[in-house]
Amino acid sequence: MIDQLWLVILGFAAGVLGSMIGLGGGIIIVPILTFLGFPPTAAASNSLFGALSNAIASTISYSKQKRIVYSLGLKLGLLSVPGTIMGAFLSTDVTPDIFKILFGFVLIASAVYIFVRKKIDSAEKTFSTQMMIFAVGASFFAGLISAFFGIGGGIVFVPLMVVGMGMGMKKAAPTSQLILLFSSLSGVITHSLLGHPDFMQAGLLAIGSFIGGLIGARLSLDVKERYLQIIVSVVILIAAGKLFVDSLTGNLNLFGF
């Protein structure tokens, strides 16, 4: 166990950053585990324990600040559950190279989201029956990527609530954390039933992510968001680039180049 305590530190760092930028710590944890040679299912399922722990810590903090819209959060959270179950099953057969390519695109999308979140908050807001129908599909998709990649669905839920439903960013991000409680919990249960996670490693990540989530919520009040955006986005894009290179190298080696 002692030689795995670094996972607590990783979970803590990911929890702090994930809480501050509102995307969860999976975008930090999964690339690092992948670079260290963890199989896709192990990286995703272990990371999801950290995502659940981080969502719990963030929800506790935001609940005290009374910034969560519970009625909407509960509905979207329940709608995401079928997607998380499917995502966990789909992750069983994915090859490492395909996982790296797909996750690289998710990281790029996350970096874009970090930079445009302020513009999203000021975008034109519409609300209609069609939007509610779209919300059902979006919730399913967010749940799927949450369990498949071991990350939160914040890059789907936050724009959906802000642009589509007219909710301000100050309530959308906290409400997203409540939704992630459902998606990450159902994903954790499904992955566990399929035998994907290493519970010792997942538990250490969860401990670090919980503490990091509490601290990150407090630090977000004092840190200049622009600087944080630049740092995190650069790290994410570098990680995405390495995933693409590793995948390409693996395919070239497969063909004997």
How do residues 208-257 score in pLDDT, each as one tens digit?
999 998 888 777 667 666 666 676 677 778 878 888 888 777 655 544 55
Helix pair angle (129-149, 96-121), 10° resolution:
140
Give the whole-angstrom CA distance, residue 141 versus residue 246.
27
Query: pLDDT: is 173 or 102 the higher one?
Result: 102
Q: Is the pTM of this model over 0.85?
A: no
| Structure confidence at residue 98 (pLDDT) | 87
Query: pLDDT: is 229 or 53 the higher one?
Result: 53
How do residues 209-218 score in pLDDT, each as one tens digit?
999 988 887 7
| Structure confidence at residue 211 (pLDDT) | 92
pLDDT of 169 higher than 70: no
| Structure confidence at residue 104 (pLDDT) | 85
| Structure confidence at residue 196 (pLDDT) | 94
pLDDT of 27 higher than 50: yes
| Structure confidence at residue 83 (pLDDT) | 93
- CA distances, 177 to each of 19, 68, 73, 76, 256 (Å): 9, 9, 8, 11, 46
Give the whole-angstrom CA distance, residue 8 versus residue 192.
20
Which range is least confidently modeled, 5-19, 62-76, 148-162? 148-162
Give the whole-angstrom CA distance, residue 256 versus residue 45.
32
| Structure confidence at residue 255 (pLDDT) | 46
Query: pLDDT: is 33 or 103 the higher one?
Result: 33
Q: Across residues 125-145, what is the average pLDDT?
A: 75
How do residues 174-203 score in pLDDT, each as one tens digit?
888 888 889 999 999 999 999 999 999 999
How do residues 75-126 score in pLDDT, each as one tens digit?
899 999 999 999 999 998 888 888 888 888 888 887 777 667 666 555 545 5
pLDDT of 22 higher than 50: yes
The domains of the chain are located at 7-247
